[in-house]
Amino acid sequence: MGAGLRLTAAAASGAALAFCFPPHSLSILAWVSVAMLMAVSLGASYRAAFTCGFVHGAAFYVIGVPWIYTVMRTYGNLNVIESAGVFAALAGTLSLYPAIFCLCLARLGRVSITTACLAAPFLWVALEFAKTHFPFHGFPWNLLGYAGARHLGLLQLVSLTGIYGLSFVLAGCNAFAAWLFLARPRHPWVVGTVAGGIMLSAVLVGDQFVPQEAPDRVAAMVQLNFPQSMEYPPDWFERHAADLEEIERLSADPSKPRPGVIIWPEAPAPFYWQDPRFSTLLSRIAQTAGNHVLTGVVDWKLPAGASSGRLEPYNTAILVDPTGRRVFSYDKIHLVPFGEYVPLRRWLTFAGRLTAEVGDFRSGSSYAVGELPGGSFGVFICYEGVYPDEVRQFVDGGARLLINISNDGWLQNSGGGEQHLEMVRVRAVENRRWLLRATNTGITASVDPYGRVAARFARDVRGLFRAPYGFRKDLTLYARWGDWFAWLCAAAAATAVLGSGFLRKKS
């Protein structure tokens, strides 16, 4: 196969995989798109295989997450070249993972095509697991498994293995397709049709047996719908007095049945707890409603363990009780690189303009669990929802309800908002918990413990959304043991790659 044809197939593979996710959502392509990449890598030279993987990754990220460039350009105070440079650097770094996958696959192919295809799903999951943690604390956005998460029956696997088990299934199907194409077994179309029919039947029939979860409570989630901005004038509260009056009226409407909790999103405006204009407003709403209010704020305080010095900003979720007192807080632990802090600031001097706060946000250190009438809850903030093990920490710490507050206004009307919801939705199933998701502009939703979106609110409107939920205390295998399956795949992949030289000599 010529080099041009290989690269074209690799790019097509990356594009097809990108189209599996919103806004296109052609998830059926996830069952075969990576097979093209595997096919062109097996039998290729190491350099050619690595290049194919890199091209696949570049096509996948350019088509799948173009909103990253838009965020940099619109809200990051960067010009066209700088925005494109940051996006290219991120896409290029992340494209190294499929490049390494193809390189290892080519090495395993020297032993046999069957060996390589058997090892492929382990290798794919191992590299997804690595991508979750590196670089800059990882970027596990649109992992392969999320493309299969729309099949409700299949999705239940993640309660055992986390999202990595679903990635393994899809990678295994792609490896099987590549094996059929390359190994040329007897009657390949019969084998493929039978295997595909069994898988399709299992997926479709499995959806019918997923239990229904009946909610017994209702939360009042207020979608604030403030326009996204990087800077706020000193008289912001005066300019938005009418907006705040409307939001107060929505939040504390005495004509409505009292909900279990009132939830606002991650702070989309200068909501500083230390500013009496805001803290007084929030306390008044809690007192008028006679209810708890959970919201995101910027909390200026001394770092943990410091007795004096400069106050630092934290991205914080706080709970105010019906008397108006602040009774709980959680400081966001996993900050957004180039959004809430700048990694390698000494070398990336231009990137400081990407943060609204000159000194960056400080990271929290504890997965705090709070209490509501009826049970305990854990709240994670925005981007933290794409990290399975981090959300699991709240459930492991006793949370019987999960709450995600976010501000996806940065994503505008791109597919990023739907992508974010699809990933956060899987966290509900992994931990078998109701999940309430409150956002500034959308998508505000309630997800049941089996992954059904029980209700969702319209985008880009201000209003109160009554979301069903309940509390659960049972623990899934994933909630108990975390990323055991990913570690198992990593060990198997390392053994296969390191042992391939020995196997090749023996063969």
DSSP-derived secondary structure for 282-347 = HHHHHHHHTS-EEEEEEEEEPPTT-SSS--EEEEEEEEE-TTS-EEEEEE--SPPBTTTB-TTTTT
Q: Of the spans 86-95, 332-341, 425-434, which averages the highest pLDDT? A: 425-434
What is the residue extent of each domain of the chain? 3-210+483-506, 217-469
CATH 3.40.50.300 is held by the domain 217-469: no
The tokens describing 502, both together, are 């020995």
**Residue 65: Cβ-neighbour burial (10 angstroms; 0-12, 13-18, 19+):** buried
pLDDT digits (tens, 9 = 90+) for 1-30: 688 899 999 999 999 999 999 999 999 999
pLDDT higher at 401 or 308: 401
Contact in structure between 438 and 222 (CB atoms under 8 Å) = yes
Please say if the pLDDT value at position 440 is more than 90.
Answer: yes
pLDDT digits (tens, 9 = 90+) for 166-208: 999 999 999 999 998 898 766 666 566 656 665 666 666 577 7
H/E stretch holding 15: helix 3-18
Please say if the pLDDT value at position 282 is more than 70.
Answer: yes
pLDDT, residue 457, reads: 95
DSSP state of 411: G
DSSP per-residue codes, 156-218: TTHHHH-HHHHHHHHHHHHHHHHHHHHH--SSHHHHHHHHHHHHHHHHHHHHHTPPP----EE
pLDDT digits (tens, 9 = 90+) for 107-149: 999 999 999 999 999 999 999 999 999 877 789 999 999 999 9
Residue 307's alpha-carbon distances to 106, 301, 310, 311, 363, in angstroms, are: 57, 11, 10, 11, 18
pLDDT, residue 357, reads: 42
The mean pLDDT of 73-88, rounded to a whole number, is 82
Query: In percent, how much of the chain has pLDDT > 90?
Result: 71
pLDDT, residue 339, reads: 72
Contact in structure between 396 and 480 (CB atoms under 8 Å) = yes
Q: What are phi and psi of 3, to 5 degrees?
A: -60, -40
pLDDT digits (tens, 9 = 90+) for 83-116: 888 889 889 999 999 999 999 999 999 999 999 9
pLDDT digits (tens, 9 = 90+) for 241-269: 999 999 999 998 766 778 899 999 999 88
pLDDT, residue 247, reads: 95
Q: What are phi and psi of 391, to 5 degrees?
A: -65, -35
Q: Is 473 helix (H, G, I), strand (E, B) or coil?
A: coil
From CA 71, how far away is CA 339, in angstroms rounded? 9
Residue written as token pair 């996958």: 101
- What is the CA 260 to chain-centroid distance, rounded? 27
Contact in structure between 121 and 161 (CB atoms under 8 Å) = no
pLDDT, residue 264, reads: 96
pLDDT, residue 183, reads: 81
From CA 56, how far away is CA 58, in angstroms rounded? 6
Q: Is 471 helix (H, G, I), strand (E, B) or coil?
A: coil
Report cis status (omega within 30 of 0) of the bond before 337: no
pLDDT, residue 92, reads: 94
pLDDT, residue 201, reads: 61
Please say if the pLDDT value at position 211 is more than 70.
Answer: yes
Worst-scoring range by mean pLDDT, 130-144, 393-407, 421-435? 130-144
Written as one letter, the residue type at 373 is P
pLDDT higher at 416 or 307: 416
Name the CA radius of gyration of the chain, rounded: 24
DSSP state of 401: S
Give me the active site residues, please.
266, 332, 382
Residue 370's alpha-carbon distances to 28, 154, 221, in angstroms, are: 40, 32, 18
pLDDT, residue 191, reads: 60
pLDDT, residue 358, reads: 38
From CA 242, how far away is CA 184, in angstroms rounded? 70
Q: What is the mean pLDDT of the chain?
A: 89
Q: Is 141 helix (H, G, I), strand (E, B) or coil?
A: coil
pLDDT, residue 157, reads: 95
Q: For residue 331, give the nearest of 381, 295, 371, 262 by alpha carbon.
A: 381
pLDDT, residue 287, reads: 94
Contact in structure between 440 and 225 (CB atoms under 8 Å) = yes
Query: In percent, how much of the chain has pLDDT > 70?
Result: 90
